[in-house]
Structure 1
Amino acid sequence: MLLNFLKQFFVIDDAEHESGDPKSFRISALRILLSASLLVVSAFTLHSTLLLDGTDSAYLVTASGIGCSLLLILLLASSRNFDRHASLILMATIAVSGVVLVGFSEQSSSLQLGVILLYSLPLLTRLFYRFKVSLFFSVANLITLAMSLHLSQSVGSAALTSTTFSGLYAQLLVFALFNVALPMAISRLIKTLQRSINRLKELAKSINHHSDLYEEIFEHTGTPTLLCDKRGVIIKLNQKALDLFPSVACEAIEGTKINDWIASISDSSNRFFWQSNVSECVLKSNTKNFLEVHRSSLTTHGHYVLHLQDITHLRALTEELENTQQTNSRLAHFDSLTRLPNHQNFCNQVNHRIHNVSDYYTGAMFIIRISQFKLLNKQYGRDQANRVILNFSRTLQSRLSDKTISGRLRGVKFACFMPVGQTYLIQRNLRTLIKSVLPEQIRIGDDVLNIDYQIGVAYYQNEGETAEELLERCEMALEYSTSAERIAFFDQQLEAKLIQEHKLGLALGEAIKNKQIQLWLQPQVVSSGDIRSFEALARWQLEDGTFVSPIVFIKLAEELGLLPKLAENLLKQLVAVLEEWHAESIKTPIAFNLAGQELMNDVFFALMMSMTSERPWLSEMLELEITETSPVMTNPLIHKRLRALSQYGYSIAIDDFGTGQASMGQLIDIPANILKIDRRFVAPLPDDKRHLDIVKSTVQLARSLNMSVIAEGIETREQANLLIGLGCDTLQGYYFGKPSPISEWTCNQHEKAKQLRMVY
């Protein structure tokens, strides 16, 4: 009781500390000083009263003590409301008392007391006023120091030997302590405390702001929300959550457990359902009200935020949907047109069959694809084409045994799985069986159509395969069916080949991306043996040092659509070399192969045109060889772009003439001025007369069209002399020079390219 009173009186209770008000600090310091002073003065007055000797000086001292005590009591009483006035009076009283004692007292003890009172003024004033006021009293005390030193000397050194101020250094030390060190230390402390208080106020304001913000977010989450601890005790809930429990106060829910209000129905044995991510529950007060509880963890406090979603209507819709799905289950598992099992249902039936049969069970899975169905669809329309599919499925089902499972995968693809004996494990016998069940003709109205198929077959021999794996193998085999051999069988070698091609395709994509495919040059010579030009050939060397055949990776790039990017990289590499040769006055052209797919690509064609416009000399140094075997070479867009390049001055050669698409037609549509005789016509020379006649006729045809002729694949002197005699303008082959890296022709400042040595 007394302790609380003292805390409140001296303003040192917790409430005053938390407020951080500077006025509270001043009042507290003032009351402490006044109380201490009152105790000292009261004790002095009481002591003086007891020792009264009847003299006037004794009565004067006692009266002064009583006056000072009354003044201190008055200042204590007014310290809360008039703290600044009270502190000012206290400081003035101390200052006046000090001055009187120093200036008018003749006793050394009074002199010492006066000096102490004056020296205490800088420290005491700093408690109530700014540092400048304290500094003023510190400077003023220089006068006090001087007077003290003067008076001490006048009294005599012998009398002052045992006193506190008996030495000059002692007085200087006391002066420095009371007037410099302590005021500055207290000033620093007060400044630090003020900054800390201001910082704490800012933090408290920020915390209150965030607390209000979180309260608002929690209240307006949009869903009923609870906050609970790990034991399931509800800490807080928002208004939407409270609305789920009508006529129940918030205080009645907070502090109780969730199990008192909500029960889990998804896992009735789980007493801690709120710790699950999602749990389906029901209100205990209304079992027809279903909730879905979604949990979010608060890692800082280890509490859970539970969002309650009312799913009563959703549950009713789900039940209705389940009834509808049961009604339409047949449509979900069967093709709507043919009523055959769809892909998923077909796989399920096959898997059920092969997982529930005895050992040594063998079967055959095959996919049937109706060829050229798009033409039928375009010619007869979609409805009639659907009749073809329907008639085919009915005919197929009628010819298959009851033990065969059949289904429609998608479009014009059908799948069948049939058990087979040892006889049909022979591919020839199984091929005959499959052909016997497939209808060769289908009637559409009055028309009878011949139907062609492509079929991929895979065997099942009780090795644990699934229907999905068998279908995938059938798809692999189907890709290798041809117009000549329409039924293709899957085997491990085919799978390995497909995997190898896939890996090679991935590696090719990376090689093109990283520009790892390089250009090699093979010389093309005239009859004298001098090099007339070069042919640029692409070479791809793997990390193990082996080379991939250009025939393989060029075809693969064409299938993967990578050919335009590959040609772009090689063309940039070649043009960079031609720029150096042009600067060195090396006037030897280089032929660059195009397969047709590149010229169909707008980006590549735009690159060629931009290079040509920036380098007018490029058409004289770069020859274009068109691979005539490419199917797209008959496209009118190719012909249009080749004519544009020809107008810019490019020489265009038809490569592999006589082996590709509509060779004679190409001579009309393509503005070519060079014919290249393929190596397959040159290799049998000079012994094969038939090939010799073909070469002669090709040379004569080129002469009649005013075209130059290049023969490639020359490997012997006899072949070279024969072709020179037939009138070939340019010769190319291993006999004259094998392809070599382009760096061999550019090293040593293009020394080899400048020399252009004779071949023989």
Structure 2
Amino acid sequence: MLLNFFKQFFVIDDAEHESGNLHNFHVSALRILLSTSLLVASAFTLHSIFRIDGTDDAFMLSVVGAACSLVLITLLCTSKRFNRQSSFLLIVALAVTGVLFIRYSEHPNGIEFGVILLYSLPLLARLFYSFKVSLLFAFANTATLAMDLHVSEHLPFESGANALFSDLYAQLMVFTLLNFALPLAASRLIKTLQRSIHRLKELTNSVSHHSDLYEEIFEHTGTPTLLCDKRGVIIKLNQKALDLFPGVNPETIEGSKINDWISSISDSSNRFFWQSNVSECVLKSNTRNSLEVHRSSLTTHGHYVLHLQDVTHLRALTEKLENTQQTNSQLVHYDALTQLPNQQKFCNQVNHRIHNVSDYYTGAMFIIRISQFKLLNKQYGRDQANRVILNFSRTLQSRLSDKTISGRLRGVKFACFMPVGQTYLIQRNLRTLIKSVLPEQIRIGEDILNIDYQIGVAYYQNEGETAEELLERCEMALEYSTSAERIAFFDKQLETKLIQEHKLGLALGEAVKNKKIQLWLQPQVVSSGDIRSFEALSRWQLEDGTFISPIVFIKLAEELGLLPKLAENLLKQLVAVLEEWHAESIKTPIAFNLAGQELMNDVFFALLMSMTSERPWLSEMLELEITETSPVMTHPLIHKRLRALSQYGYSIAIDDFGTGQASLGQLIDIPASILKIDRRFVAPLPNDNRHLDIVKSTIQLARSLNMSVIAEGIETREQANLLIGLGCDTLQGYYFGKPSPISDWTKNNHEKAKQLRMVY
């Protein structure tokens, strides 16, 4: 108890050390000094009282000692609350005492005591104040040194030059040591401690941050996870792992052994099953709950991370499959989940069947792909998604005839081969038959899910065709199924088209890689005919001189995932031209088309933002046209990034307005300031009243939202005059100018661009 009291009083307990608080250090040092001084003053006072000889000097010494003791007690009581004031008063008291001893003491010891008191002031000043204050006291003590030397000359010391010489150097050494050496050393030590404490705080904050980060990662691994040591003692578990043990507190599990909760069934004799990479186990509290324990080693700490995967449902399916299979060869030829023939077995059965065509006129093979399975897998998890596949296969088999051969190819693809008569050679009839056998809904627990499909169909009509060839044709047809037309039929033209698209896709990849796709510009004018801006259009010319339509190769680039790289190449080419125009003071903006896939790409968006930060003027010269027909334009990430670009000053236009996914919704979600009327609404003007009403309402809508309007596809003077009269801000089309290579506008030191646009 007494030891703890002294630790707290002198602020030297562990908690105060770890806090690194400079105020606590000052309080501790001050209390130690004051307590020590109080002991000396008290001893001096008691000694003076007991040795009072009746003289005034003895009585005055007792009074001075008692007064000093009272002052020290007062400073000790106020040391924490008024730390700086108390330390200042202590230094002042020592200074006054030292001066008084030197001035009035007639004994050499008293003088030296006063000198030592004054010499101690720089060190004390450094403890409580800055090094500059300590240095000030040190230089002030040169007066003390001079006074001490002066007094020493008049005191009866040992005579002789050597004695005086030795005494002088002794005083200089003491002066230097106490006034400069010790304060400097203390200052160095304090600075080192302060830096160490600051660094320690930074390291502590960093460790705390990383600890919180690892805690969050551990808690959100997505699977039940345990952390244990090499002996199998559980150190920590996340919430998903705790859910496996209902009604049990984490404190009960942490510190216990894994064997207390989980037992191995793959190797029951192994008490250290959790040291294996993968082990099949059950919960001791519920042996029907099967688990797979996957181990990961932490080499730095020697601990294990155990991931517990619930495989109860899959184990039941596996056991059922194993019970129904008679030989190992059957396991090779049948799907483990659905028990349907796999692709090899399915092809063998179909090939065996088509060798005998006398039972039917012809046959039809079709591949079924469940469209939204990835979404189901993400929303419900793998086990529930497998249940969807299982329920679908059972429903499909129950609706198919006995003569139909069905199988599971891979993933969410199923294949069927059925004999059909003349009636079903008509595609409409076969389409109706296929729809009738496909379940429209599947139940998962209490949820009923609507199932969408994509289907590719191929007819068996010629002797010598194989199941493998039919499957390949079904795959080709499947690639051309859409959300609007989910059932696609194979024909020779489709095969030829796919081969051409494949070759074109390879050529497009090379063209993007070698930057063969170039930018052309088409002017956008105001009602007076002056060029307000340009639209950048991409053009791809093959080696034979033919041009590929942008509608074709842009769509192909989007399907092949080449669109972000293509847009990156074109953007760099366009920004290079804009830099030259900016240097020439050509203030003509150029609109750049984005289909949405580019903005979803992190690399392309980072490139656009870095270009913006390096060129603050770019947002004034570059306009962004968003293709409203792109399906990804409704994605929240697109809206977030467009809002960021708008805040950087970019003008954003909605292109092809009225032809896309959710036109009115786009006006709310996208921070657009320009609306482009698609050419399909402009082309029938001025004779088509219905299209005229649509254009009028679109312009009125834009006006109500404070948006500018650009009409594209203008080919006649009548169309131009009509749109100007309706209040259209900007006009674009062949009537005003066809697209031309960007080099036409940049050659001869941008002569053409300067002529058509005022240079500021």
TM-score (normalised: structure 1): 0.53
Partner SS state of residue 482, structure 1: coil
Q: Is the 8 A contact 2:588 2:757 kept in 1?
A: no
Distance 2:602 2:449 in 1: 41
Partner of 1:91: none
Partner of 2:480: 480
Deviates more, 1:631-640 or 1:710-719: 631-640
Per-residue CA shift, 1:566-587, capped at 9, x if unaligned? 1111111111111222222222
Give the C-alpha shift of residue 443 in structure 1. 5.8
CA distance 1:747–1:460, shift in 2 (3 Å): same
CA distance 1:437–1:700, shift in 2 (3 Å): closer
Distance 2:721 2:711 in 1: 12
CA distance 1:393–1:646, shift in 2 (3 Å): closer
Per-residue CA shift, 1:393-436, capped at 9, x if unaligned? 34443444444322122233221223334443333343344344
Q: Is the 8 A contact 2:360 2:420 kept in 1?
A: no
Amino acid across the alignment from 2:595: A
Partner SS state of residue 684, structure 1: coil
Partner SS state of residue 485, structure 1: coil
Partner of 2:597: 597
Distance 1:400 1:570 in 2: 53
Distance 1:483 1:591 in 2: 32
Q: Is the 8 A contact 2:676 2:710 kept in 1?
A: yes
Amino acid across the alignment from 1:662: A
Give the C-alpha shift of residue 601 in structure 1. 1.5
Partner of 2:507: 507
Distance 1:390 1:614 in 2: 56
Partner of 2:755: 755
Give the C-alpha shift of residue 620 in structure 1. 1.9
Partner of 2:427: 427
Distance 1:582 1:498 in 2: 45
Partner of 2:630: 630
Partner of 1:715: 715
Partner SS state of residue 702, structure 1: helix
CA distance 1:634–1:376, shift in 2 (3 Å): closer
Q: Is the 8 A contact 2:535 2:591 kept in 1?
A: yes
Larger radius of gyration: 1
Partner of 1:576: 576
Task: Give the 5 Å matches for 1:318-333.
Answer: 327-333=327-333
Distance 1:345 1:386 in 2: 21
Partner SS state of residue 676, structure 2: strand
Partner of 1:676: 676
CA distance 1:664–1:427, shift in 2 (3 Å): closer
Partner SS state of residue 733, structure 1: coil
Give the C-alpha shift of residue 378 in structure 1. 6.3
Partner of 1:645: 645
Distance 2:602 2:388 in 1: 40
Partner SS state of residue 639, structure 1: helix
The percent of aligned pairs where both chains have the same amino acid is 94
CA distance 1:729–1:397, shift in 2 (3 Å): closer
CA distance 1:429–1:711, shift in 2 (3 Å): closer
CA distance 1:708–1:433, shift in 2 (3 Å): closer
Matched, 1:492 2:520: no
Distance 1:440 1:729 in 2: 50
Matched, 1:666 2:666: yes
Distance 2:465 2:538 in 1: 43
Give the C-alpha shift of residue 731 in structure 1. 0.9
Amino acid across the alignment from 2:625: E
CA distance 1:514–1:351, shift in 2 (3 Å): same
CA distance 1:567–1:461, shift in 2 (3 Å): same
Distance 2:383 2:676 in 1: 51
Distance 1:705 1:419 in 2: 60
Give the C-alpha shift of residue 662 in structure 1. 2.3
Partner of 1:222: none
CA distance 1:350–1:722, shift in 2 (3 Å): same
Partner SS state of residue 671, structure 1: coil
Give the C-alpha shift of residue 376 in structure 1. 5.5
Q: Is the 8 A contact 1:354 1:462 kept in 2?
A: no
Task: Give the 5 Å matches for 1:54-65.
Answer: none
Distance 2:446 2:596 in 1: 43
Per-residue CA shift, 1:149-174, capped at 9, x if unaligned? xxxxxxxxxxxxxxxxxxxxxxxxxx
Distance 1:509 1:430 in 2: 38
Distance 2:579 2:563 in 1: 24
Partner of 1:158: none
CA distance 1:747–1:380, shift in 2 (3 Å): closer
Amino acid across the alignment from 1:480: Y
Partner of 1:461: 461
Distance 1:379 1:546 in 2: 48
Distance 1:753 1:657 in 2: 29
Amino acid across the alignment from 2:415: A
Partner SS state of residue 337, structure 1: coil
Amino acid across the alignment from 1:561: G
Partner of 1:37: none
Partner of 2:409: 409
Task: Give the 5 Å matches for 1:675-694.
Answer: 675-694=675-694
Partner SS state of residue 655, structure 2: strand
Distance 1:741 1:390 in 2: 57
Q: Is the 8 A contact 2:564 2:604 kept in 1?
A: yes
Q: Is the 8 A contact 2:367 2:413 kept in 1?
A: yes
Task: Give the 5 Å matches for 1:345-360.
Answer: 345-355=345-355
- In structure 1, stretches of 5+ residues that fail to align are 1-324
- In structure 2, stretches of 5+ residues that fail to align are 1-324
Amino acid across the alignment from 1:658: G
Distance 2:532 2:399 in 1: 68
Per-residue CA shift, 1:629-659, capped at 9, x if unaligned? 2222222222222222223222221212222
Distance 2:643 2:437 in 1: 53
Q: Is the 8 A contact 1:531 1:756 kept in 2?
A: yes
Per-residue CA shift, 1:250-280, capped at 9, x if unaligned? xxxxxxxxxxxxxxxxxxxxxxxxxxxxxxx
Per-residue CA shift, 1:293-328, capped at 9, x if unaligned? xxxxxxxxxxxxxxxxxxxxxxxxxxxxxxxx9942
Distance 1:375 1:570 in 2: 34
Q: Is the 8 A contact 1:474 1:490 kept in 2?
A: yes
Q: Is the 8 A contact 1:405 1:417 kept in 2?
A: yes
The total of aligned residue pairs comes to: 434
Distance 2:639 2:450 in 1: 36
Give the C-alpha shift of residue 503 in structure 1. 1.2
Distance 2:342 2:676 in 1: 54
Distance 1:384 1:515 in 2: 46
CA distance 1:358–1:521, shift in 2 (3 Å): same
Q: Is the 8 A contact 1:361 1:462 kept in 2?
A: no
Distance 1:376 1:621 in 2: 45
Q: Is the 8 A contact 1:360 1:461 kept in 2?
A: no
Distance 2:676 2:423 in 1: 53
Q: Is the 8 A contact 2:657 2:663 kept in 1?
A: yes
Q: RMSD in angstroms over aligned alpha carbons?
A: 2.8
Per-residue CA shift, 1:215-239, capped at 9, x if unaligned? xxxxxxxxxxxxxxxxxxxxxxxxx
Give the C-alpha shift of residue 679 in structure 1. 1.2
Amino acid across the alignment from 2:635: N
Give the C-alpha shift of residue 464 in structure 1. 2.6
Per-residue CA shift, 1:490-522, capped at 9, x if unaligned? 111111111111111111111111111111111
CA distance 1:381–1:363, shift in 2 (3 Å): same
Q: Is the 8 A contact 2:586 2:757 kept in 1?
A: no
CA distance 1:452–1:539, shift in 2 (3 Å): closer
Partner SS state of residue 578, structure 1: helix
Partner of 2:700: 700
Q: Is the 8 A contact 1:360 1:462 kept in 2?
A: no
Partner of 2:742: 742
Partner of 1:22: none
TM-score (normalised: structure 2): 0.53
Amino acid across the alignment from 1:684: P
Distance 1:423 1:635 in 2: 45
Partner SS state of residue 566, structure 1: helix
CA distance 1:505–1:710, shift in 2 (3 Å): same
Amino acid across the alignment from 1:562: L
Amino acid across the alignment from 2:749: Q
Partner SS state of residue 414, structure 2: strand
Partner SS state of residue 722, structure 1: helix
Amino acid across the alignment from 1:538: S
Give the C-alpha shift of residue 335 in structure 1. 1.8
Task: Give the 5 Å matches for 1:289-328.
Answer: 327-328=327-328
Give the C-alpha shift of residue 665 in structure 1. 2.6
CA distance 1:694–1:424, shift in 2 (3 Å): closer
